[in-house]
Structure 1
């Protein structure tokens, strides 16, 4: 019965996101997609805007033409495993957050790479779960790690991903079942930025060694280049919300198979109103052709690149643009796909010229 409900609600999620996420009613043909990307690329190459050498070599690498499969053996324990720690922090009930009417004690899980040291600074990636899930769903716990934790262990061990901290929060509010309610989850992801920016990020980055010199707003904003946010399905919706409300605090975004749930103009205004330029962020996105959210998600990504402002630009690197979309033939809306997309995104973020 729960599986049936999930399928029905998933279909509703797709309809809701495609209705408000983009203006194209039908997915473009493959030929149209190629023409669209070529047009955007040509526009990008003729732009007078340039970035300096420091920015051009900043942090991240080059995105390959195709997604990399997770290598054989990566879903089993590695010889140099990272650790998972529970982080307990205080926040406020989401719907009355501004009034601070009801204090909540919440948990997030934090992945620390093998050899973690307080003497070293680490980039931080906040990875949001989707529907019917919680903070333990993606990587598990210290006593019961999930296979994706092993994937990250191996990737860091083999030099494919730079050692980093991964934070696994939840947008569940007063109940661990909140994410299983579609309409409620949409509201909670739209409000999660209050808790994220004011409570969770400071709690994480005051305890662990990151690039934030302090956890004041100024300190966190100054270190935004070393912070990312991503998620799959409803976690992707959460990522788009974080982009809208948290661009001051995050440079990198990884939405996967969910949203964008607002108009193109909304995302353009988020950038312009913040005072940032096209080269101040990067969005790595991915989906699968058999994913129920695929068409709406892909259309939404292309709609961003076709926006009147020219803010969103397809590219496979930070120097030339800020938007990428990769797809996997035959992949569906499931955890296996989510793991592979996340693995690929982290192969790009912060891996400029240093990894194999």
Structure 2
């Protein structure tokens, strides 16, 4: 990444706290759970135009503050990318799959987040901001506008990218950025290959196009061996994956499991998403 990407830019976007309610978990419609996310709005955000949306997740043990508040230089990188027209201005949402201290520790959050994502988060965000849904967050319109929606995440968020967004909400997203992992170092690899194959085959049968699956990792990252093996097998098993057209596995030589790598992954992903 060019050094100029981390230099302060006068054309700054805005990071807003976004509150919404979810009925996905315990409680009922009269007692929904209150959650928060951060929303990046590009410099010059204009409610009269329509913006693509990237939903961007943190890793294990972090929360919605990770990308923009814990690492504010992420915002500077975004400001520079958009000001220099390296990528199109877009809205970026950083939620959390965690539910607070009361969360069920036995629940696989990487799978279960799919419900909150579909039922609560996307409708709340895309009703509040100017997106391609134009305020219509019906199931039919969310599917119709899927090419204007991306999902990416790091580490446990990378696993969530596969499980919550790709496998279980393929009808709502056509751009994906798994950064550092698929099933985790102790996970079973062949079942993940089969899930990728099945998702793409069923999507193709429904006329749902994959715009891009941009996998990223560093070759010294703890998650690299399993991620690389799974995607090599998936590329062989899935005729829908065409390297350089709608799929790539981007590797940082010497890259490890850290924020420097993940910011670089985001920098490259945004040059691909929505193009």
| TM-score for both structures, normalised by structure 1 | 0.70
Query: Does the aligned pair in 2 maintain the 1:93–1:102 contact within 8 Å?
Result: no
After superposing on structure 2, the runs of 4+ consecutive aligned residues of structure 1 that deviate more than 4 Å are: 99-102
Query: Does the aligned pair in 2 maintain the 1:189–1:238 contact within 8 Å?
Result: yes
Residue 229 of structure 1 is aligned with which of 121, 141, 151?
151
Larger Rg: 1
Residue 329 of structure 1 is aligned with which of 253, 256, 260?
253
1:92 CA drift (Å): 3.0
Find the aligned partners of 2:225 and 2:117 in 1 and give their Cα distance. 30
Per-residue CA deviation, residues 259-284 of structure 1 (Å, 9 max, x unaligned), is 14643222222233343458434200
Find the aligned partners of 2:269 and 2:206 in 1 and give their Cα distance. 22
Query: Does the aligned pair in 2 maintain the 1:93–1:100 contact within 8 Å?
Result: no
Which residue in the other structure is 2:195 paired with?
A: 266
Which residue in the other structure is 1:219 paired with?
A: 141
Which residue in the other structure is 1:76 paired with?
A: 7
1:76 CA drift (Å): 3.5
1:175 CA drift (Å): 2.8
Which residue in the other structure is 2:37 paired with?
A: 108
Can you give the 5+ residue segments of structure 2 that lack an aligned partner in the other structure? none
Query: Does the aligned pair in 1 maintain the 2:24–2:115 contact within 8 Å?
Result: no
1:75 CA drift (Å): 2.1
- Distance 1:138-1:299 versus aligned 2 partners, 3 A rule: same
In the alignment, structure 1 residue 146 sits paired with structure 2 residue 72: yes
Give aligned pairs, total. 266
Find the aligned partners of 1:164 and 1:270 in 2 and give their Cα distance. 27
Query: Does the aligned pair in 1 maintain the 2:147–2:174 contact within 8 Å?
Result: yes
Residue 160 of structure 2 is aligned with which of 238, 244, 249?
238
Find the aligned partners of 1:271 and 1:327 in 2 and give their Cα distance. 23
Which residue in the other structure is 1:48 paired with?
A: none
Find the aligned partners of 2:207 and 2:160 in 1 and give their Cα distance. 22
Which residue in the other structure is 1:88 paired with?
A: 19
Residue 86 of structure 2 is aligned with which of 160, 165, 180?
160
Report the secondary structure of 1:90's partner residue. strand
1:139 CA drift (Å): 1.1
In the alignment, structure 1 residue 340 sits paired with structure 2 residue 268: no
Which residue in the other structure is 1:203 paired with?
A: 124
Find the aligned partners of 2:209 and 2:145 in 1 and give their Cα distance. 16
Query: Does the aligned pair in 1 maintain the 2:14–2:40 contact within 8 Å?
Result: yes
1:327 CA drift (Å): 0.5
Per-residue CA deviation, residues 219-247 of structure 1 (Å, 9 max, x unaligned), is 11110010000011001001001100111
1:101 CA drift (Å): 9.3
| RMSD of Structure 2 on Structure 1 (CA) | 2.2
Higher helix share: 1
Report the secondary structure of 1:139's partner residue. helix
With a CA cutoff of 8 Å and minimum separation of 6, indicate the structure with the bigger relative contact order.
1
Query: Does the aligned pair in 2 maintain the 1:125–1:227 contact within 8 Å?
Result: yes
Query: Does the aligned pair in 1 maintain the 2:174–2:209 contact within 8 Å?
Result: no
Find the aligned partners of 1:277 and 1:285 in 2 and give their Cα distance. 23
